[in-house]
Structure 1
Amino acid sequence: MALNSKLRKSIFWLHLVSGLITGIVIAMMSATGIAIAFEDEMLEWSDRAVKIAQPATPEAERMSIATAQSHLQQALPEFAANYVEVPSAPSLAYSFYHSRKGPIYVDPYNGAISESNREAVHHVIHEIEEWHRFFGGSGEPGSLGRLVTGISNLALVILCITGLYLWFPRRWSWRAIRAILWFRSYSSSKARDFNWHNVFGFWSLPVVLILAATAVSISFEWGHKLPFLAFGEEPPKARNFSMMAQAPLEIAPPAHNSQPLSAEAMLAPVQDAYPMWEKIGLPLLAPSEAPLNKPVSLDLYLPDYMPNRAWMPVDVDPYRGLILRATHLKDRSAGLQARIWIRFLHTGGAFGFWGKVIASLGCFAALVLVYTGFSLSYRRFFNQHRRTR
């Protein structure tokens, strides 16, 4: 019994000290996590009106991408579009981009131009993301901000594990379990906070532990490598979207003076092969880029609530209109699949809208745990000090 008591006391102090040291950062990451969980939905909502197309009749046909691009150049000559997204829904406009700038919407029926409203929303979300990831500091590898949030994520994993151990009562009985399993009315704020700390901690544990563990993998270089090493793979150096890069392909040399196919001709084989497509993005080739010695990479989006299952890069021969390579998430290596799952489990996006709701509820529970943890600690140290004076 004495050994169990000492173990419990040691785990309690590890739990308490870890929470006091990292609680503020954990609260910041939880609050900002809620704020940025629905980034895609907020950006889509901000442009819900300006991206609508207006066909004159139900049978109206879309103008070609080249014609739409010409309308855009006439209206906004300073915007040199080099990428376009074509939606499958006839009620949506073409979306033109220049690198990271855009989108600019062009109605495919009348050529009307509409600018996006998402810039302000995106700027605010980006600032919140900087705090969420780097505590307002630099995101450079080895930076203090990245280290602070990384250590706090690791501490949150420790808090989850030690918290579960401490949650179990010293003596098993239904009365003891019930008191820490659900909310109860108490006469004192200390008893209420203790009850809330136990109830929120128990029911949110799976979600908070997943959020914390996946954050550790994202925060640290060694954490990034773990899923690859677990499957015996060489971890990629890139820890961003670049880790999805594939070996370059070459195409058969085109006939003399051959010109690349039109955008519609390059889209056609992809649309035929994947009739459930939702949208396809493709680069806009300048005449100076011909002749090409590599395929054109299209971004195909299929119906799926997980972003990286919905997105599929497709390489097309720009002269013959042949699909040379299409890579679904299931075609990736096991290590890369695991790493992608980690990224979207952390945001909740792996399970779509409701996954994000659950992740946000986990973040809210973490805020309650930080508050009740600090409140209980304050009473332990300061109220006790006052009683002994």
Structure 2
Amino acid sequence: MIRAIIFRLHLTVAAAAGVVILMLAATGVILSLEETVTGFAERRYRVAAPAGAERLPPEEIAAAAGLTATSLSYRSDPHAPVRVHEGQARYARVNPYTGQVLATGPGGLERFFEGAHDWHRWFNVSGGSVRRARAVTGVVNVAFLFLLLTGPILWIPRPVTRRSLANVLLFRPGARGARRNLNWHQVVGIWSVLPLAVIAATGVTASYPAVGDRVYPMVGNVVSAGAWPAGSVSQGVGIEGAAISEDPARALDPDLSAVFATAEAWAPEWRTLILNLPRSSDSEVRVEVQAGRAGQPQRTGFLTLDATTGAARAWTSFADDTPARRAQQFLRYAHTGEYWGLGGQWLAGLFSLAAALMVWTGLSLAVRRLRRFVRRRRAPPTSGTA
């Protein structure tokens, strides 16, 4: 009786939310490939790095882009172009040795992935509809979590024998039609249930800030604070023992070359440096230092420097955040797998593909069940014989 009730609830929730879950899973697969695909596309813009050549000063690179530059994004790869950003909407790829503009963006590939992001988060709506759309995706994540929790109850065979367990743990190559779909649905579900439960649960915290506010303090106590990189401005010593500038005087003549040199020396293992260009009234420059890939906040820090001398004034990293803030960032990037690097992102994509297959086979089984029900209702009643 209880199993029958759970089955009906499982079927009802799946029928109501299945199409949206399928969309979220499909866009999740696409987004898991974003860094890999754009990385391959970026290779066409690789530049020659002559032996002993040095990059042009940041001011010259910014001027060469022909934009109202707000930030410069450097890669540690000497063959990578520098991205000169104008806000968040536009950028130019600039050869850091010659100042040649290689291309401007965003291009079609980046707009495609941006659209996939928007569909995954809020159905690609805009304006005041975004909040309502995010609430819907949150409900769907809750529904998916319910399906993942009730699914194993229905998949456990009765009675439990070696053969019955093999039917739900292993693929059956010879199965066809509904039996194949049921086998795939059960096998993929059993092996994917725990990772998919994590993905769904972290999606709920992102969709509902009120839920996140209750979860973050608890999760923050178990998230490692990390210890990257070594060195602390608060100790009163900067790069290579140089005294830290504490003069808050306004910057009249920024020296971005000195700022960049200090940032490079601060974290020799850096992968990406994002230099935020100061305004004329700013006395400080902020540089984002990434030692890992995008989505790894535990390997990211922010260095504040004197705009005129390039001396370090302050350093903040993942370890300096509150436990709640660390938990928020951890759950955000655990949802996509990015927290664990490219491998984690690919695994998240693989399990998203598994979710898509589960939804597809589940809906197929539901449609077959509906057709049988309709046929029975339409079948003429059998008349008794004398």
Matches within 5 A, 1:178-197: 178-186=166-174, 188-197=176-185
Aligned to 1:274: 267
CA distance in 1, matches of 2:127, 2:29: 20
Aligned to 1:213: 201
> Relative to 1, partners in 2 of residues 1:276 and 1:383: Cα closer, same or farther, differing over 3 Å?
same
**One-letter code of the match for 2:261?**
A
Q: Could you tell me whether the CA contact under 8 Å between 2:62 and 2:72 is conserved in 1? A: no
Q: Any idea what SS the aligned residue of 1:172 has?
A: coil
CA drift at 1:349:
0.9
Deviations 1:205-233 (A, max 9, x none): 12211111111111112222133343699
CA distance in 2, matches of 1:95, 1:137: 29
Q: Does 2:16 correspond to 1:21?
A: yes
CA drift at 1:285:
3.3
TM-score of the two chains, using structure 1 as the length reference = 0.83
Deviations 1:34-74 (A, max 9, x none): 11222233333333222x2323x3122222222333433xx
CA distance in 2, matches of 1:120, 1:251: 46
Aligned to 2:5: 10
Q: Could you tell me whether the CA contact under 8 Å between 1:71 and 1:111 is conserved in 2? A: yes
Q: Could you tell me whether the CA contact under 8 Å between 1:46 and 1:117 is conserved in 2? A: no
Q: Does 2:56 correspond to 1:68?
A: no
Matches within 5 A, 1:309-320: 309-320=298-309
Aligned to 2:286: 297
Aligned to 2:154: 166
CA drift at 1:387:
4.2
Gaps of 5+ in 1: 1-5, 234-249
Q: Could you tell me whether the CA contact under 8 Å between 1:96 and 1:105 is conserved in 2? A: yes
Aligned to 1:49: 44
CA drift at 1:201:
0.7
Aligned to 1:350: 339
CA distance in 1, matches of 2:140, 2:198: 14
Matches within 5 A, 1:173-252: 173-186=161-174, 188-230=176-218, 252=247
CA drift at 1:158:
0.2
Q: In terms of mean alpha carbon deviation, does 81-90 or 347-356 score higher?
A: 81-90
Matches within 5 A, 1:91-106: 91-106=79-94
Q: Any idea what SS the aligned residue of 2:107 has?
A: helix
> Relative to 1, partners in 2 of residues 1:117 and 1:85: Cα closer, same or farther, differing over 3 Å?
closer
Q: What is the Cα-based RMSD across aligned positions, in Å?
A: 2.6
**One-letter code of the match for 1:91?**
H
Q: Any idea what SS the aligned residue of 1:252 has?
A: coil
TM-score of the two chains, using structure 2 as the length reference = 0.84
Deviations 1:135-163 (A, max 9, x none): 34347477442232211110000000000
Q: Does 2:259 correspond to 1:263?
A: no
Q: Any idea what SS the aligned residue of 1:48 has?
A: helix
Q: Does 2:160 correspond to 1:152?
A: no
Q: Does 2:72 correspond to 1:84?
A: yes
Deviations 1:311-357 (A, max 9, x none): 21111122443322222212211111111111111112122222122
Instruction: Give 1:113's match in structure 2, choosing from 85, 88, 101.
Output: 101
CA distance in 2, matches of 1:271, 1:136: 39
> Relative to 1, partners in 2 of residues 1:253 and 1:175: Cα closer, same or farther, differing over 3 Å?
closer
Q: Could you tell me whether the CA contact under 8 Å between 1:84 and 1:283 is conserved in 2? A: yes
Tell me how many residue pairs correspond in the alignment. 355
Aligned-pair identity (%):
26
**One-letter code of the match for 2:298?**
R
Gaps of 5+ in 2: 222-244, 380-386
Q: Could you tell me whether the CA contact under 8 Å between 1:47 and 1:116 is conserved in 2? A: no
> Relative to 1, partners in 2 of residues 1:310 and 1:231: Cα closer, same or farther, differing over 3 Å?
closer
CA distance in 1, matches of 2:72, 2:346: 31
Q: Could you tell me whether the CA contact under 8 Å between 1:137 and 1:144 is conserved in 2? A: no
**One-letter code of the match for 2:364?**
S
Q: Any idea what SS the aligned residue of 2:72 has?
A: strand
CA distance in 2, matches of 1:119, 1:340: 28
> Relative to 1, partners in 2 of residues 1:304 and 1:24: Cα closer, same or farther, differing over 3 Å?
closer
Q: In terms of mean alpha carbon deviation, does 223-232 or 206-215 score higher?
A: 223-232
Matches within 5 A, 1:123-138: 123-138=111-126
CA distance in 2, matches of 1:125, 1:144: 22
Q: Any idea what SS the aligned residue of 2:97 has?
A: coil
Q: Could you tell me whether the CA contact under 8 Å between 2:286 and 2:305 is conserved in 1? A: yes
**One-letter code of the match for 2:35?**
D
Q: Does 2:321 correspond to 1:332?
A: yes
Q: In terms of mean alpha carbon deviation, does 260-269 or 205-214 score higher?
A: 260-269
CA distance in 1, matches of 2:259, 2:328: 31
**One-letter code of the match for 2:110?**
H
